[in-house]
Amino acid sequence: MKDKELIKRSIEEIRATLPVGVTLIAVSKYHPAEAIEAAYEAGQRDFGESKAQDLKAKHELLAKDIRWHFIGHLQSNKIKYIAPFIHLIHSIDSFRLLEEVNRHGAKNGRRIPCLLQIHIAQEESKFGFTPDECLEMLAGEQWRTLENVEIRGLMCMASNTDDREQIATEFSAVQELFKKIKARHFSDDKKFSIISAGMSDDYPIAINHGSTHIRVGSSIFAE
């Protein structure tokens, strides 16, 4: 973990470069509560975690006005840890998972905001719907019966490559998919408005291609 002053300075430096309307999510996975407190002191309120139990533990320990974002692969049996309070689940990668989150939303008397994760990178290992699978799922209209989830937009991770053109092409494809889905299924729904794209190494490219929420970890917290 970095020195607290360095964490604060990193937050301030990144925030200074962001256009109005772009939300910085500080990805605090693997970092202790003290690191999150340093970012919090710099005014940061949106934090991302990729393990449900870690997120729950940090939620219990830290300030209650923190908005917690779940960004990792979510297993159905772990939804219960985060369902009562999670601000946004970025990583819905199947209709089944959306149904399960809906069930937990109902149990907790809330509508849980969610993003659909799009598999756009070249790597096999990344989770998510392909663009066609996502369009097909939405065309099915069954999701409209799920009253305890709200689909707010799309999330993606670009390929892990130095090829900036390739990364730009991927973010651009997700932006086009977002526009298509918005026009087909959410034209009356102002809440469908989020593109969660961009990490420490590629967030400026993501912002150029319409990202509204960037997820930045190592640039803030790592040595």
Ligand X SMILES: *Cc1c(COP(=O)(O)O)cnc(C)c1O
Chain residues binding ligand X by CB under 6 A are: 27, 29, 50, 71-72, 157, 199-201, 215-219
Cβ-based nearer residue to ligand X, 146 or 170: 170
Give min distance, CB of 215 to ligand X, in A.
4
Query: What is the Cα–Cα distance from 157 to 216, expressed in whole angstroms?
Result: 12
Give min distance, CB of 204 to ligand X, in A.
13
Q: Are 10 and 219 in contact (CB under 8 A)?
A: yes
What is the DSSP-derived secondary structure letter of residue 129?
B
Residues 6 or more apart from 195 whose CB is under 8 A from it?
Answer: 153, 154, 155, 174, 175, 178, 206, 210, 211, 212, 213
Cβ-based nearer residue to ligand X, 146 or 220: 220
The residue number whose beta carbon is nearest to ligand X equals: 217
Give min distance, CB of 145 to ligand X, in A.
29
Cβ-based nearer residue to ligand X, 78 or 180: 78
Cβ-based nearer residue to ligand X, 74 or 98: 74
Question: Residue 198's closest CA among 23, 30, 76?
Answer: 23
- Rounded to 10 degrees, the C-alpha dihedral 93/164/206/115 comes to 0
Give min distance, CB of 48 to ligand X, in A.
7
Give min distance, CB of 144 to ligand X, in A.
27
Cβ-based nearer residue to ligand X, 72 or 105: 72
